[in-house]
Every structure is written in C-alpha cells, then in structure tokens.
Amino acid sequence: MIRSVLVANRGEIALRVFRTCRELGIATVAVHSDADARARHVREADAAVRLPGDAPADTYLRGDLIVAAARAAGADAVHPGYGFLSEDPEFARAVRAAGLVWVGPPSGAMKAMASKTRAKRIAAEAGVPVLAPFQGDAVRAADLPVLVKAAAGGGGRGMRVVRELALLDGALEMARAESAAAFGDGEVFVEPYVEGGRHVEVQVLADAHGTVWTLGTRDCSLQRRHQKVIEEAPAPALPVGLADALCAHAAALAKSVGYVGAGTVEFLLDGRGRAWFLEMNTRLQVEHPVTECVYGVDLVALQLRIAEGGRLAERPPEPVGHAVEARLYAEDPARDWRPWTGTVHALEVPEGDGLRVDPGVGAGDAVGPHYDALLAKVVAHAPDRPSALHRLARALERARVHGPVTNRDLLVGSLRHPEFAAGTADTGFYGRHLAELVAARSGFEKYAALAAALADAQGRSRFGGWRNVPSGPQVKRFRARPGGEEHEVRYRIGRDGLEGVPGVRLLEAARERVALEIDGVRRPFEIAFHGTSADVDSPLGSWSFTLLPRLPEPAPRTEPGSLLAPMPGTVVRIADGLAPGDRVEAGQVLLWVEAMKMEHRVTAPDSGTLTALHAAPGRRVATGDLLAVVVPPVTVPPAVVPHEPAVVPHEEAAP
C-alpha cells in the first residue's frame, strides 16, 4: 500500500493529486522552486522540499533532485502530474531504481511513445491510421500547407504552420531551436496540415493484468497557439460509428506497447470525418476532469490503485451526461494572448450543482513569469450538452476573479458562440472569431464605472449624503482594464439623490456594494478596491478598472524606436546574425522572450536600422526593459525652389 506520495509538479495538478490522496488517507509531499516557496500547492502539502532556483531546468526538470526529495521526505511513491518530467522514461527508471513506486506507465511504453515519429510507426503497425510525415526535402508546393512539429514534448512547443514553400526552411530552424530549448531534443518532422481539423482524443486506462479501458472521447478543438482552451466529453457531432472506431484504435495501440496506467491517444479529424493518429500522451491529461464527471470515476485514485498492483473491473462504468471544461488563464487574448503577472486578490467560482473547480492558485498568491499562467479549471456536468454549456458559461460569468487580466470573458463568449454551440468548431475557431469575441463589450460598463465612483466616494468622504450648500459635480476617471475605454464619471448627490446621470437612481451606496435603478430596473454591483484598481462584479458581468489621477503624472520619456519588453520573462533567442547596424524590415522578428511556457516574438515596429541591441539569450527582463532600438530612416523633404509670383497683366474694364 502506498502511504506517502510526492508529486513531482506544481500548481493545479499538484493540488488535484493531493485532493485524492487526502480522501484515500495518503500523506502528500510537495516540491517547489524558490519562486513557488509560498505557492498554494506548498501550503496544502503535508511536507515540502525546496528545489533551489527558479528556472524549470534547475528545479522541476531535475529528476535527481526530485528523487532525493522523495527519499528525504519519506515518500514511497512519485506521481509526475503532467508536463515537466511526466513523460520522461529516464525519470521513471530513476524513481524505480531508488526503490520508489512510479505512478505511471512502464518506461518502455513511455519511450516507445516519446518520439512522435516513432509513435506513428508503431501506430501504423497496430493498424491505426496515421498522417505519414514527409521524407527529407520531399515537400512540394502542392503539399502546402504543412505542419512542422517537434518529435518530442508537447503543449504546442516547436510547432509551425507553413503556407509558403519559401518559409519552410526558416520554420524548421525555429522549430528545432524551440524544441531543443524546451525538451532538450531538436528533432522535428513535417506532416500534412489539415485545415479545419478537429482534435479528438480517447482516454485509456490499463492495469498490469491485461485489462484495458477506453473511457470515451473528448473534443479539444478550441485551441490557441496549439494549446487547449476548452475541452468536453463526449466529443460532439461525430459521424456514426467513429467514436467506437477511435476507442478500438486507442485500445489496440495501448496493448501493442504493453501500456499500464492512464494515457491519452489523440486523433485529428478532417471535414469529411476521417481520423488520423496524432500522438499518445503517456500521462494524465489536463482535461481529465470531463471524463471523470461523465464516467463517475477518480482517475488519480485509479492510477494509485494500478501502481499498487490492483486490478480494474472487467468493464468501465457507463457514461452519463455531458461535461465541459474551461481553462481560466491569466492572459489577455486581445493582445496576442499575452500572459499577465501579478497578485490574485480574489478567485471565487461557484461550485456544486454540477460545477467543479480545480484551482491552481488562491487569493493572495502571485502569478509570476516562470510557469504556466493557469489559474483554475472550471468544469460543468449536466444531463445534456446545451445544459452543460449554459451552466459553465453562467458560472464563469458569476465568478469573482480579481488581480491579473484573464481570459474569462473570452471563455464565456466562446461557450455561447453559435458555431461552438452547434458542436462543429475546429482548431481554426479562434483564427476566425477571436476579433469579434474580444471586441464584444457590455453596454453596462459605464454603469459599473459609476458604481465604482460612488463606492470610492464612500471610503473618502466624511459627509455620507447630500449637502444643502450647492457644490460642483464629483468627477472621477477610470480606465477599463486591460487597455480599454476611459470613463469620466460626473455626478452630484443632491436633495433628490443622484443627479447628473439621466435614467439612473441611487438606491444604495457603501464601500463594497452599490445598487442602482437603471431605466426602472434594480441592478446590484459589488466593488472591491486593490490599490489603484477597482473590480466590479454584477449579474450583468464583471469589470476591472484602473483609477486615474485627476492630474496625470508625466510619463517617462522613451527614445523613438525603442523596443521594450512586453512582459517579464527570459530572452531565449536572437534572430540569426542580427547585430547593431543591420537594416531590418517592419514586422521582422528580432528576438524571442519566453514567459509562462510560451514564446513571444518581439518584432521591428518599422523598417529602419537596428542601432542598439540590449538583449542576449538567457537574460531575464522585466516589463518595460529596453531590448533594442530601431531607428527609421531620416526622410529629407524635397527642396523648396523659390519662385517669383506670376504677374498677370491687368486689363482695364471697358468704359
């Protein structure tokens, strides 16, 4: 029997494993980097061991340190979670060599599936349809578009879609560099890119006694940068018989490599309903909760039972209903999915009645630049798909999420979008609809700003009501975050209540709550202030504002052409051969900054000359740090040639 489990991970997945361990009476051990010393997963573990440093390469990717931590803390098993070392067969071997129980598949099965190119060969031999990679330089213009893909790892790293043959070599080079930096393996391959494809996967669970379960399908087609955003089970709108065929393929592949434990077999569907094997993830998936809800199982508990040598039942439970999961990230979809750092002041999402929340952080926790920006996963389970979508959208809408900018509004809009509601959304969904989803703004934002102004006045004024002495209007300025509209709120509290705001009556005003009657309808607003920020929550929606000073302070001057770091992170690459004095073109990528497991390109804003380069691979940068300077060419206006005014002879009028 397993008595104590070390989770070789952090954040949401560590907390998820701890929850099951507590229910089973198993002690828990956390590991943490210096950046995570006060993280929620550290606070909730029974014991924690420090991994010195901040970077993943020095901490969560150091298998030797993690094995030593397990032995020091008295753990007798290691659960890898997902990401980091979860699919590293050498780490699995090291855990077993240390006399510890590995809560995962055999290292041989992991190695067989670790390389996507090798996995495709094994899948083909097992009778699973695959998209055959191109051989060498065999890509022709007629083959476009193609996908350049890292053979190792996952999470969208080392992937590039190529639509022009001339760009293929550059995409290969960039993918190799990104894959080598992320996974220590620069192998990449090229395969056909399926336009309008859907990402459908099958949950596999197998014991060491020959029983293999397939727990239905999941659809994970809503993605940004090849990383999943919304997932659901079962996959909707599949052709008749396809779900059974995919489950059969997944079981055949698992059996062919002697798989034991939890794993996921991923497929790509085209518009004609044809499916091809993509890869097998030899670990628990981020989206596993939707399968747990539909099948009524605890996959982590089953992983632990299998690791102890236990048996699965002959058949899995029957599925019930539909489940949808949304990943709540600290990021700004309107600005190229820019990750957001800062303190989480509140994270409260409704639970119960078919709602489940798997948190990664709590109130007071900081979201830093080192790791994934996932705040929580929110899951809804209902008897049917429309009910599950409605339940999840409403829960997200009513959540209190204060602090970093999040993708919450995008998630709500996605769940209610007609294409997604129809069950036909594919991996190009955000490419087609992102602009409209981020542009949608509530018409009630101006009333939320008014509520914030009235609440702010309650905390600042010594006079709680109207005054008999005439006075000028109260004026407050707010800017919606992130980078939204500026609102100037003007009002006066007179004998008859709120004045200066047509169609609005003030019913209640306190520092944390304001009620307004808007066009005859009572609307409550809850307000929370955090420094210069005001978060407003209401049944109408949620808004975050920055309180602007009456007299703006002068902004620091920046030299023309300066490229500043858009976020805190690490410079990972400089464009090949780039040096001061080079001519660059508008939009040309100059360097890459990595933050929260994603690479962000820094491009030249204009054509011109690179006069300074203040970045180097490995340099840590803060938001606003100077990275480079691009000076546009000086345009000399054409010389003005002086000329005499034309003299027009004057003709006298006839008498």
One of 3.40.250.10, 3.30.230.10, 2.40.50.100, 3.30.565.10 is the CATH number of 562-631, namely: 2.40.50.100
pLDDT of residue 655: 34
* CB count in 10 Å sphere of residue 310: 12
Phi and psi at residue 161, to the nearest 5°: -90, 130
For 77, the enclosing helix (H) or strand (E) is strand 77-79
For 418, the enclosing helix (H) or strand (E) is helix 418-421
Residue range(s) in the chain whose domain bears CATH number 3.30.700.40: 445-548
CATH 3.40.50.20 fits 4-103, yes or no: yes
pLDDT of residue 650: 42
Strand positions, DSSP E, 403-503: 474-480, 486-494, 497-499
- Total residues found in the chain within this entry: 655
Q: Residue 37 contacts by C-beta under 8 Å, 6 or more apart in sequence?
A: 50
Amino acid in position 269: L
Indicate the DSSP class of residue 45: S
The class (CATH top level) of 132-192 is alpha beta
Q: Which pTM does this prediction carry?
A: 0.87
Residue range(s) in the chain whose domain bears CATH number 3.30.470.20: 198-439
Three-state helix/strand/coil letters over 540-555: CEEEEEEEECCCCCCC
Residue range(s) in the chain whose domain bears CATH number 3.30.1490.20: 132-192
Q: Is the bond preceding 234 in cis, omega lying within 30 degrees of 0?
A: yes
pLDDT of residue 408: 96
Q: Can you read off the two tokens belonging to residue 453?
A: 């102004």
Name the CATH architecture for the domain at 198-439. Answer: 2-Layer Sandwich (3.30)
CA distance 306 to 299: 10
3-state secondary structure at position 450 = helix
In the chain (655 residues long), the average pLDDT of successive 10-residue segments reads 97 98 98 97 98 94 98 98 95 98 98 91 95 80 84 72 85 79 76 88 98 98 94 97 98 98 97 92 97 98 98 98 98 91 95 96 93 95 98 96 95 97 96 92 89 89 49 86 87 89 95 96 97 93 90 62 82 87 90 77 88 86 86 66 47 38
pLDDT of residue 577: 85
| Nearest in space to 457 (alpha carbons), one of 400, 509, 379, 409 | 509
Q: Residue 192 contacts by C-beta under 8 Å, 6 or more apart in sequence?
A: 131, 134, 143, 146, 147
For 136, the enclosing helix (H) or strand (E) is none
The class (CATH top level) of 445-548 is alpha beta
pLDDT of residue 654: 39
Q: For strand 366-367 and strand 342-343, is the pairing parallel, antiparallel, or unpaired?
A: antiparallel
Residue range(s) in the chain whose domain bears CATH number 3.40.50.20: 4-103
Q: What is the pLDDT of residues 351-398, one digit of tens each?
A: 999 999 999 999 999 999 889 899 999 999 999 999 999 999 999 999
pLDDT of residue 645: 46
Strand positions, DSSP E, 559-603: 562-564, 569-574, 583-584, 589-595, 598-603
| Nearest in space to 176 (alpha carbons), one of 162, 184, 165, 191 | 184
Query: Cβ(380)–Cβ(392) under 8 Å?
Result: yes
Phi and psi at residue 431, to the nearest 5°: -60, -35
